[in-house]
Structure formats: structure tokens, C-alpha cells
Amino acid sequence: MNIGFIGLGVMGRPMAENLIAAGHRLTLSRVKESAKYLVDKGGVAASSAKAVTEASDVIILMLPDTPDVEAVLFGDDGVAAGLSKGKLVIDMSSISPVATKAFAQKIEALGCDYLDAPVSGGEVGAKAASLTIMVGGKETAFERAKPLFDAMGKNITLVGGVGDGQTAKVANQIIVGLTIEAVSEALLFAKRAGADPAKVRAALMGGFAASRILEVHGERMVKGTFDPGFRIRLHRKDMTLAVDSARALDLSLPNTAATQQLMNAAIASGDGDRDHSALIRTLERLSGG
């Protein structure tokens, strides 16, 4: 397919690379030094989101936050300015479900289809083409996009209508955030009690407490290696979406709110660009460590 890809960050670069490897033709926006290798692999650099859209049948966005998606879609020389009937826009960013529905209405009014398809799996999953992809939108649009999703992920689910993919992603981030917090507390408890956290983690991996978070992020906590796969400030953004959505729904999510506040503290302490497993550092500081 002729694909436009906008958002070549930590996640976007390997996702675009996997699409090129699968034989698709990619037009790329915002090609910085870190993404120039994609041009060497066959991608074509374009001057604007509008130019990307004009050259493509399917346009994929992988951007940090809701305002970024809105600006790329509807700003000057944005995606909407380059659309013609029959094109498909896929937003794989993690943003507001409410805003997603509004964006989709505007794009569909131009005679195009819209899918929200946020992902889980981090940089490791993006590189391995093993992402979990949660999709919202029409089934016909989903079937059209399925070969592209297959090139980037393994667990691919059409959750429901537009916005439902983003709702699933927020739910995912609640579970991941609270589990990171729980693993942090457990390993800090083990250390303060005089046990070796590495050995405690190894023991727990064989029991009912085993999880991918304990496996991957627990190892980072033990080793103290917090180079970002997924930055705390980006996870805080997702937890804020959860807290704001809960307020709109008159829903109590007390532990989600508490973990969001811990992430606020982590960012205030200078850890915002560390991996979200670095939340353990905030809890250490709270305990006088």
C-alpha cells in the first residue's frame, strides 16, 4: 500500500521500519537525523503532513498527545488539507477518547475513514512487530488496515466503534501503571527488610505474582537501568486521561489517581524522561532512600 507515516519517535521509527520491511511504500513526515535510515531503506521524505497525505492512500499517526494529533490533522498544511475521498486515517497515538470521536467526525465528513488504533508493548514490541493493537472504528476500515496491523503487531483486536480503541488503551495504562507501582513497593519492601531484591524477584516469577511487569520492569528496578522504553511523562499523560475520564463518568478510581500523583512527583523530581519503571525512585525518596 501507499502509506503516509507521521510521528517518527521511539515507537514510530521501528513501526515504520516494519511496514517498509513488509513491502509497503512509505512517505514520511518530520524526518529528523534519528529517522534518516528509513529513507535509506526506501522511505520518501515529505515536506509537510499535507504532502504526506496527498502521496498516500492510508495515513498513520504516531504522536505524543491529543494536541499534537489535532495540530497534525487540522493545522496549516495538515492531513485534512491533503485528503481526498476514500483515504483512510489511522491514529495509533494514545490520546483522549472524547477528542478521538470529534476528530473522526471531521475526517469522515471529508469522505474518508478513521480508525483509532493505540498500541501497547513499548519500544521492544515495536521493534519485534509484536505490539498489541486496540482498534476502534468501522469493520470495513479495520479489514482494510489489517495487513498493516499484522506488520506491526500480534494481538490485534477491533474493540468497537471509534474511540473504543483509546478507551481500551487507557484501561491498559491503568493496569500497567498500578502494577509498576505494586512491583516497586514489593521490591522496596524486600530491600528494606534485608532480602536481596533480585532473588526475591526471581522467586516471585515462579508464583502467582508473576507478570511481564515483574519480569521486564522488575529487572530494570533491580539493576537501576531506566533508559526509556516508555517515559514517565508519557505514562502520566495516559493516567491523566484516565483520571479525567473517570471524573466525567462520576467514577471513583482511587489507586489510579494515587499513581498519577506519584508520577507527578517523579516528573517534579526530574525523572520525567526516565522509563516508567523509574517510579521506584519516587517511592524510595518517600521512604528516605
Which among 192, 193, 218, 194 has a CA at the least distance from the CA of 204?
Answer: 218
Residues 6+ apart with CB under 8 A from 269: 281, 282, 285
* Spatial distance between the Cα atoms of 260 and 254, rounded to a whole number of angstroms: 10
DSSP 41: T
Task: List the alpha helices (DSSP H) in the chain.
Answer: 12-21, 36-40, 49-54, 66-74, 79-82, 97-108, 122-128, 139-152, 164-192, 197-204, 212, 218-223, 232-248, 254-268, 279-286
169 is catalytic: yes
> How does DSSP assign 180-247, residue by residue?
HHHHHHHHHHHHHTT--HHHHHHHHTTSTT--HIIIIIHHHHHHT----SSBHHHHHHHHHHHHHHHH
Tell me which of 169, 191, 199, 237 is the catalytic residue.
169
Catalytic residues: 169
